[in-house]
Amino acid sequence: MKEIIKHLESFATEERTQLFDRVIENRTKYLTVVLEDIFQAQNASAVLRSCDCFGIQDVHIIENQNEFCIHKEIVMGSTKWLDLHKYNKQENNTREAIRSLKAQGYRIVATTPHEKDVFLHDFDLHEGKAALVFGTELTGISDIVKEEADAFIKVPMYGFTESFNISVCASLVMQDLTTRIRRENVAWQLSEEEKEEIKYEWLKRSIRSADLIISMWEEKNKLICNT
């Protein structure tokens, strides 16, 4: 992987590769965001933009009744730097997503008031990786998420309105938790292998004809190995 990354870097500016290195150091998979059946493109795009800003690399998108769409002017190209994982092939895509996330060691954290909930600032980050689930604009998270959730969190509110807009809620949650994982003794950083994989993908997405460049490099190295 290191060799092909070095080769691709020769097709990018030094400023771009240095920027990649700086940003990758602040990327995390300790927290991930799950969007269940979001139907408003503005909200979907605002959440993705916030994920990039707060350094969350993976976003899991569940499509049950609604297709996930983005608004280009709001998302501001952030999808280019995120890894989006879609669940839309099964009869019950929410269960499929939860099963996959739990298999990866994530706690399912529902962002909704519940009898077992805790305020956002009291959520224990030391218990392991967390998948933060945000539900549809009208009804919130599904009953399946509530049944499968390992924890529930709520954002403090002091006014008459009972809930935040989903994109606002997601931003508040991410800002709090991504700040705290950096202050507390939590192993939130990416592994070296993960950093390499992400940088490789970013270079591919940034360089014109990257697939052709990679193919030619692989063919050249195959010939060298065979001589």
> In this predicted structure, what is the pLDDT of residue 226?
56
Say how far apart CA 15 and CA 178 lie, in whole Å.
26
> In this predicted structure, what is the pLDDT of residue 223?
64
Note whether 197 and 184 are same-domain residues: no
- pLDDT tens digits, one per residue of 77-94: 899 999 999 999 988 899
Domain that holds residue 212: 1-27+193-227
Question: What CATH number does the domain containing 112 carry?
Answer: 3.40.1280.10
- pLDDT tens digits, one per residue of 171-217: 999 999 999 999 998 999 999 999 999 999 999 999 999 999 999 98
Note whether 215 and 115 are same-domain residues: no
Instruction: Using pLDDT thresholds of 50, 70 and 90, give the confidence band for residue 48.
Output: very high
Note whether 204 and 225 are same-domain residues: yes
| Residues forming a β-bridge with 60 | 34, 85
Say how far apart CA 84 and CA 1 lie, in whole Å.
22
Helical H runs in 58-136? 72-75, 93-103
Note whether 55 and 20 are same-domain residues: no
Note whether 144 and 201 are same-domain residues: no
Note whether 1 and 94 are same-domain residues: no
Q: Do 40 and 137 contact (CB within 8 A), yes or no? A: yes
Note whether 20 and 112 are same-domain residues: no
When divided into structural domains, the chain yields a total of 2
Handedness of CA 193, 62, 173, 99 (dihedral sign): negative
